[in-house]
Amino acid sequence: MVKNKITFKALLRFIALAVLIALSVFLAYKFGIIELFLNEEKLKSFIQSLGPFGVIGFVLLQAFQVVAAPIPGEVTGLLGGYLYGTVGGIVLSTIGLTLGSVVAFILGRTFGRPFVERVVDPTVLSKFDYLLHHKGAFLVFFLFLIPGFPKDYLSYFLGLSSLSVLEFTVIAGVGRLLGTVLLSLGGDYLRHHEYEKFLSLAGIAAVVMVIVWLFKEKIERLLRIWHVSRYRKKKKK
């Protein structure tokens, strides 16, 4: 009886969330918000048109692109550096990205595995399922630190783990910092028309991304083995 009640409540939560998402997508399409997000120039003009409130708008934009937006995070990261300089871009992007990550984390925790399975790529679920069995804050931080790993998906997925909201907030904020610095720096180069520096930075980033892509499977396997063996050693003690 109790199990049926829990299942019914979970079903109601899922239906309510599905209706909310559908309504949000409809309104976003109706008022041209989706089109705005897909056009980089319009996006830039919109943020600038907000004047003093542009800072808040940019932070919310960064948060939204983690949770649901159809635009890649690289675009908004460069935009932050272009509009607010390297330091301003890093600070504002970090706030927005951390906020979006925490929202995704809480959504995953609130609506459970059925919801996460609909949002997260099945390959990500299978590859990182071991993170749900043992608490591994350092490993999660390391995954967030490596370029090219699906951090947005992981934010939803880790809502099912034993990490606390505070632990995850620190990991998401600090772990995304390397990518945020590079993107903000690149945006600042574009702002000052320093195209040679921008291309050099983009080249270095591309090389790193290719290396990570080539050895991604090995890195994931080594991290999984390390994490499980570390847990077993702790358990023996």
| CA neighbours closer than 13 Å in the CB half-sphere of residue 119 | 28
Which residue type, as a one-letter code, is found at position 173? G
* Buried-state track 191-210, b at ≥16 Cβ within 10 A, e below 16: beeeeeebeebeeebeeeee
DSSP E strands in 23-138: the ranges are: none
| Whether pTM exceeds 0.75 | no
pLDDT digits (tens, 9 = 90+) for 117-176: 888 878 777 777 777 766 667 778 877 887 767 788 889 989 988 888 998 999 899 988
Question: Which parts of the chain have pLDDT scores under 70?
Answer: 1-44, 46-48, 50, 69-72, 133-136, 148, 216, 219-220, 223-237
Residue 96: burial class (beta carbons within 10 Å; 0-12, 13-18, 19+): buried
- Measured in whole angstroms, the distance separating CA 16 from the mean position of its chain's CA atoms is 24
Reference 93, options 71, 51, 64, 70; nearest CA is 64
